[in-house]
Structure 1
Amino acid sequence: MKRLLDFVGLPVFAGVIIAVALLLLFPQLRQPGFLQSDPQTSEQQGPVSYSRAVRIAAPGVVNISTTQKRNFQNHPLLNNPLFQQYSDINSNNPLGSGVVASSDGYILTNYHVIDNANEILVQFSDGSIEFADLIGTDPKSDLAVLKVPRENLTPLHARRSEEMQIGDVVLAIGNPWGVGQTVSQGIISATDRGLQQFSPYTYFFQTDAAVNPGNSGGALIDAYGNLVGISTAILNNREATGISFAIPADYAMQALEDIVEYGYVVRGWLGFSADLVSPDAVKAFKLQHNEGIIVTQVSPNSPAEQAGLLTYDFITGINDIPLSVNNTNLNQYINRLRPGTQINIDFIRNGRAMSTILTVGLRRPDEE
């Protein structure tokens, strides 16, 4: 028996001594939950499941359908009650999706989802349906604001666009083809994609998350359930796959606030026209720089005129942002400036480097 105790006891005693020594040397080992995995940390390293993000965001994504009257003109049966009862004059079609933007019933969607609608119906994730009022639209950026008579909704939290990086995981939540709320996964493929032919007033996130007709107006969220963008368009090309675009969430939310308060989206205005500078123009004007824009026209009584800009001034930077890519990015940047904001403009005139302070004006909706 004594030999057995010696055989078993000595290793146990040695193990206890080692354990005590480790606890004294490394106090963090005594913290509760030290060996447990942190869900947040696990998600940042790449979660196995995105179900938590979906649970957070799904109640804030709605299905949208509309009632539209078809144009029968003066069909002789149009006023026949029996014809009206059995014909398909009015059609309820699942057309898209929307995002709950506030707890008191404001909803964001795409303008093309509700265009020409007579009645708009919103279906929530619990299956309930409400008629929605159209508060306002901004066709230039393809956004529309709806309002439903409901309180205590769960809005999505909008993430700042500058926080997003290429390669970030995103999930698209919407109503593709009217089949019901669906989730697809992808990444951010580009963060500042300009689509001049679609909208000159904002840039887009590009993603490879599966987006189909019916997703329009729905949510693009990150791995934590935050709203990243409003799914808006797909590349309409049979040879292209995995290319879709979303309006950044912070821009869309600002547009909603403007529409609710003013009835239109507030956009900045500088009051000059400009062209990119070609290599030939650099030589002709004897410029030392080949990156920038050249002023071609200054509007009378505009912020640009008041700031002292002249035709043929060569602008090299706005607020220390070099103008080295294209005019599309410049237009998007200007349109997102708020009226009254002061910006610094660096330019070259007659070979001399100069700068001026310009106060951003308001672009009137009838000027767009």
Structure 2
Amino acid sequence: MRPLPTLLTLALAAAFGGFTATAINAHLDNRAEAAPAAYTIPSAAALPAAVAGQPVPSLAPMLDRVMPAVVSVNTKQVVRVRNPYFNDPFFRRLFPEVPQERINESLGSGVIIDAAEGLVLTNHHVIDNADDVQVTLADGRTVKAEFIGSDADTDVALIRIPTGNLTEIKLGDSAQLRVGDFVVAIGNPFGFSQTVTSGIVSAVGRSGIRGLGYQNFIQTDASINPGNSGGALVNLQGQLVGINTASFNPQGSMAGNIGLGLAIPSNLARDVVDQLVKHGVVVRGTLGIESQNLTQQIAQGLGLTETRGALVTRVLAGSSAAAAGLKPGDVVVSANGQRVDSAQALHNVEGLQPVGSTLTLDVRREGKPLQIKATLKEQARAVTGESLDPRLGGATFVDLPESLRQAGVSGVLVSEVKRGSRAAASGLAQGDVITAATAGEFADLASWRANFQQRPAQLVLRIIRGNGGGQLVMR
């Protein structure tokens, strides 16, 4: 099998979250020699207070209010050094000082959104797998942070710091943003704390970017660089309209900004925070369908004039789609007024909705327009192998990370395999991605589970493991 596609075109802020503030001094140490005494430094001319009777516009008053709410997030992770010689007692006796562990340190940003509760919003990738998280405030105080919860698929995380003399930023309504609105990014790029860059909103609702999770990004040309992850994107009123998360750069994240920055909308972040505060996890709703992209031939056969939309190929029994009357052969062309060009676009819209929300779907059925309203049901977060088939006993399955789905991979992820279990005996391992099986076609956890209503006589799995793959016969 072919290995997973390598995502080379996106300079993710996931690399930003792993940015280590080293080598900065090497750049700063190239100081000029002191000027000879004979020379004098000219004084800088002061800006006029007003031009033509109007005050000179400045962001300074607004920034004075909001900048104390933007913090540095420093993480430490203990990583065990994998060296086969460490297992040899003779080697360890000869070289007792060789370290078997190292500490990875990284720097990101965060935003205080609730001063009374000490809640700090940041990116999931900034604090992912961290053993210790320290927050440095604008006034120089450094405090230990408590993990509240995070959601990898939207890259949102919530931590708590001790309260007392904190400044917060109020969340604005990101739905009111328009292309051309001025915005300001605040964060800690390359380890430079409390750095401000400005620009405009270049696009809203940006999606379809390979390698990221659920997508509804604000695109801005305000400079976003390594270390900006989790920082604030504010409007001119000082309201938080986005969380800076990524920068698109074909040359790699460390090449710096080229004016293509991405931020998570504040409305999406607010929904995720509400769930994290209440439950510690994010529970998503699901339609309970499988879909595929249209081809020109299929579109013509269905009487459609455009080759766009998500073609429904399967409606799971008992799902919200089934209750709403959606049928195989329907083509979804928009959801909640948002244009749907592909199956992935529909999946993205669906994944951004909470349980109990209603999706208004514009559908083409046999070439005729139809509108269907579906109330999303909770999707299972994990399924045990025992509940599906005895041959899968000891394994636990979850949906793939959304970043893999955006990269074109479909299937389910093996999150755990118990030692000595039947699944382990057949060779199934934690981290395997199951892309096909003799139980039937499936795209996600819901359809994977539905396929086992009738157990196959022989169960063969096609898997991806690391950069390779193969088949497993489950016994």
Could you say which TM-score interval applies, normalised by the shorter chain?
A: 0.7 to 0.9
Q: Describe the shift of the 1:153–1:201 C-alpha distance in structure 2 as closer, same or farther (beyond 3 A).
A: same
Q: Distance in 1 between matches of 2:73 and 2:317?
A: 45
Give the CA deviation at 1:349: 3.4
Summarize deviations over 1:199-230 as a string: whole Å, max 9, x none.
34231111111111111111111122111211
Q: Is the 8 A contact 1:294 1:312 kept in 2?
A: yes
- 1:267 partnered with 2:284: yes
Summarize deviations over 1:157-214 as a string: whole Å, max 9, x none.
1121221111111111111111221111111111111144233423111111111111
For 1:305-316, list aligned pairs within 5 A.
Answer: 305-316=322-333
SS in 2 for 1:70: strand
For 1:244-283, list aligned pairs within 5 A.
Answer: 244-283=261-300
1:333 to 349, 353, 356: 349
Q: What amino acid does structure 1 have at the position aligned with 2:217? A: F
Q: Distance in 1 between matches of 2:266 and 2:193?
A: 23
Q: What amino acid does structure 1 have at the position aligned with 2:332? A: I
Number of the residue aligned with 1:70: 79
Higher helix share: 1
Number of the residue aligned with 1:173: 186
Number of the residue aligned with 1:349: 365
SS in 2 for 1:122: strand
Q: Is the 8 A contact 1:291 1:324 kept in 2?
A: yes
SS in 2 for 1:358: strand
SS in 1 for 2:242: strand
Number of the residue aligned with 2:175: 162
Q: Is the 8 A contact 1:293 1:323 kept in 2?
A: no
Summarize deviations over 1:64-121 as a string: whole Å, max 9, x none.
11222232354949x98xx69xx89665845111011212111111122112211110
Q: Distance in 1 between matches of 2:367 and 2:195?
A: 58
Q: Describe the shift of the 1:92–1:359 C-alpha distance in structure 2 as closer, same or farther (beyond 3 A).
A: closer
Q: Distance in 1 between matches of 2:248 and 2:358?
A: 37
For 1:41-80, list aligned pairs within 5 A.
Answer: 48-72=57-81, 74=86, 76=92
Number of the residue aligned with 1:365: 381
Q: Describe the shift of the 1:364–1:151 C-alpha distance in structure 2 as closer, same or farther (beyond 3 A).
A: farther
Give the CA deviation at 1:355: 4.0
Number of the residue aligned with 1:146: 159
2:211 to 178, 198, 205: 198
Q: Based on CA coordinates, which of the two structures has the bigger radius of gyration?
A: 1
Q: Is the 8 A contact 2:107 2:227 kept in 1?
A: yes
Q: Distance in 1 between matches of 2:176 and 2:130?
A: 36
Q: What amino acid does structure 1 have at the position aligned with 2:297? A: D
Q: What amino acid does structure 2 have at the position aligned with 1:280? A: Q
Q: Describe the shift of the 1:169–1:323 C-alpha distance in structure 2 as closer, same or farther (beyond 3 A).
A: closer
- 1:111 partnered with 2:124: yes
Q: Distance in 2 between matches of 1:316 and 1:98?
A: 37
- 1:122 partnered with 2:135: yes
SS in 1 for 2:185: strand
Q: Distance in 2 between matches of 1:101 and 1:262?
A: 18
Q: Describe the shift of the 1:135–1:113 C-alpha distance in structure 2 as closer, same or farther (beyond 3 A).
A: same
- 1:95 partnered with 2:107: yes
2:239 to 216, 221, 226: 226
Q: Distance in 2 between matches of 1:324 and 1:110?
A: 27
Which ranges of structure 2 fall in alignment gaps of 5 or more residues? 1-49, 383-397, 400-475
Q: Is the 8 A contact 1:174 1:215 kept in 2?
A: yes
Q: Distance in 1 between matches of 2:141 and 2:191?
A: 16
How does the TM-score come out when normalised to structure 2?
A: 0.61
Q: Is the 8 A contact 1:266 1:362 kept in 2?
A: yes
Give the CA deviation at 1:351: 4.8
Summarize deviations over 1:291-345 as a string: whole Å, max 9, x none.
53321111222111122222112334444x2645344443332223232233443
Q: Distance in 1 between matches of 2:338 and 2:76?
A: 48
Q: Distance in 2 between matches of 1:216 and 1:348?
A: 41
Deviates more, 1:191-200 or 1:141-150: 191-200
Q: What amino acid does structure 2 have at the position aligned with 1:294? A: L
Q: What amino acid does structure 1 have at the position aligned with 2:321? A: A
Q: Distance in 2 between matches of 1:256 and 1:322?
A: 24
Q: Is the 8 A contact 1:177 1:214 kept in 2?
A: yes
Q: Describe the shift of the 1:235–1:288 C-alpha distance in structure 2 as closer, same or farther (beyond 3 A).
A: closer
SS in 2 for 1:141: coil
Q: Distance in 1 between matches of 2:214 and 2:180?
A: 25
Question: RMSD between aligned alpha carbons?
Answer: 2.9
Give the CA deviation at 1:352: 5.0
Q: What amino acid does structure 2 have at the position aligned with 1:99? A: V
SS in 2 for 1:281: helix
Which ranges of structure 1 fall in alignment gaps of 5 or more residues? 1-36
Q: Distance in 2 between matches of 1:350 and 1:94?
A: 54
SS in 2 for 1:166: coil
Q: Describe the shift of the 1:229–1:198 C-alpha distance in structure 2 as closer, same or farther (beyond 3 A).
A: farther
Q: Distance in 2 between matches of 1:204 and 1:139?
A: 15
Number of the residue aligned with 2:148: 135
Q: Is the 8 A contact 2:312 2:327 kept in 1?
A: yes
Q: Is the 8 A contact 2:224 2:261 kept in 1?
A: yes
